[in-house]
Structure 1
Amino acid sequence: MFGILGGFLAVSVVGYAMNGSKLGDGGFPEAEYRLSLPRTLVDNHYELTRDVSETEGRKLKEEAAGSWDVKLAGVAYGHYSPGGDEAKGELVVMGLYGRFKDPDWTRNDMMKGGGEGASTEVVVAPKDFHPVGSGGITITCEVSTRTDSGVKVTLPLCGWVDANTSGAVFEVTNTATTDDPSDVDLDKLAATTLQIRSEMRKPI
């Protein structure tokens, strides 16, 4: 399963990181928050199995470094599984922190990248959510499918961008090869993503 997911993420990284197509200077917010990778997420349901901030995270850092819309301070990129057991599925969190000049534009651009690449198709279009307790933060979610060696995997994705942090959450269940994309509960994943943001986001 991870081999398929890894291929999808390798494609998504390029779209996830800001592409720097909007030019401008000034107007950046103050840096007040950073992202961390806690040992557990979502009320201890998911346990960290791999911190890849210094490996795969380097690709995010390199892509974002060239953008005029972000002043990058760091990356938090980790793989989590229910109870630490990857056989039960994976939750992958790709996060950047620093100073984001235009969070809404950046979030929309990020979500476009989630469906790019060969053998990848967005089958449930991006939709904005404002879960209870969001405080004005928009969570955007979509569902893609990735086909590798004849196997199609359903890959839900949610993301957020605020003044200081940006995150994308990919969920891969142990039924990902049989899940109907239209049955994915994006309301639930949006609420989970908001909770992940609150658990990862720390004052500087």
Structure 2
Amino acid sequence: MIGIVGGAVALILAIVAVIAMLGSAAKNTGFPEARFTLSVPKTLLNGRYELAQDLSGSAGQKVVDEADGSWDAKVDGAAVGQYTLAGDASAGQIVVSGMYGRFKEPDLSRNNMMKGAGEGEGAEVAVAPEDFHPDGSDGITVTCEVLTKTQLGREMTVPVCAWTDANTGASVGQITTATMTQDPSEVDLDKAAATTLQVRSEMRKAIE
């Protein structure tokens, strides 16, 4: 599948861009309690996607480093993973670029995440960000957009969604053989938002 690795890298760098936009140091007050973290499980979406690469210690460390001193975020760690459908990268992939800690302004962080994804190298926003509240979201907003990314002379359609709550945030890009060549306006973002909410439920872990 042409361009999937490049798309994965673009999504990872989008998280770094989010942290870079979070502002400078300010008073260490008003942060929510740390109650949840993010993990990188061996599978996602009820076992259909298998972990291909855990990049939390490499690309993820950039998230932690660049977040130091941000006025509205105390980032404790990152969770960055690349997953393949039934272990077959040519069938489909999911890339999750996430962070966990304490976030004063979840809506700001989520919107910045989407903006950062749209500013990735070779990417253009084909469908503007839209907010969703899938069944079971319990008040969590999932924002989704559709990007087109040109690589090796081919244009690829990539739906990207993101959430941020008081303790966790991530962008989720899902690339399949069906959506890769789909007209951006025809991408089912309601379904993409529901998928992102399920990813959140499988990666988000309570601190004991």
| TM-score (norm. length: structure 1) | 0.93
Where does residue 149 of structure 2 map in the other structure?
Answer: 146
Which aligned segments of 4 or more residues in structure 1 are displaced greater than 6 angstroms?
none
> Structure 2 unaligned runs (5+)?
none
> Structure 1 unaligned runs (5+)?
none
Range that drifts further, 121-130 or 35-44? 35-44
Where does residue 194 of structure 1 map in the other structure?
Answer: 197
Distance of aligned partners of 1:117 and 1:86 in 2 relative to their CA distance in 1, 3 Å threshold: closer
What do residues 119-152 of structure 1 show as CA deviations (whole Å, max 9, x unaligned)? Answer: 2110100000000110000000001111122111
5 Å-filtered alignment, 1:53-132, equals 53-132=56-135
Q: Return the offset for 1:118.
A: 4.2
Range that drifts further, 55-64 or 26-35? 55-64
Distance of aligned partners of 1:33 and 1:7 in 2 relative to their CA distance in 1, 3 Å threshold: closer
Where does residue 185 of structure 2 map in the other structure?
Answer: 182
- 1:186, 1:62 → 2: CA distance? 32
What secondary structure, in the 3-state scheme, does the structure 1 residue paired with 2:70 have? coil
- 2:160, 2:201 → 1: CA distance? 17
What do residues 24-52 of structure 1 show as CA deviations (whole Å, max 9, x unaligned)? Answer: 43110000000001111111111111111
- 1:108, 1:22 → 2: CA distance? 18
1:135 is matched with which residue: 123, 134, 138?
Answer: 138
RMSD: 1.7
The number of residue pairs the alignment matches comes to 204
- Answer whether contact 1:92 1:169 (CA < 8 A) is retained: yes
Range that drifts further, 116-125 or 86-95? 116-125
- 1:39, 1:118 → 2: CA distance? 29
- 1:131, 1:6 → 2: CA distance? 25
- Answer whether contact 1:151 1:177 (CA < 8 A) is retained: no
Q: Which amino acid aligns with 1:20?
A: L
What secondary structure, in the 3-state scheme, does the structure 2 residue paired with 1:169 have? strand
| TM-score (norm. length: structure 2) | 0.91
What do residues 85-106 of structure 1 show as CA deviations (whole Å, max 9, x unaligned)? Answer: 1111110011100000111111
Distance of aligned partners of 1:85 and 1:144 in 2 relative to their CA distance in 1, 3 Å threshold: same
* 1:167 and 2:170 aligned: yes
Range that drifts further, 143-152 or 171-180? 171-180
Distance of aligned partners of 1:6 and 1:167 in 2 relative to their CA distance in 1, 3 Å threshold: closer
Q: Return the offset for 1:66.
A: 3.9
- Answer whether contact 1:46 1:82 (CA < 8 A) is retained: yes
Distance of aligned partners of 1:7 and 1:98 in 2 relative to their CA distance in 1, 3 Å threshold: closer
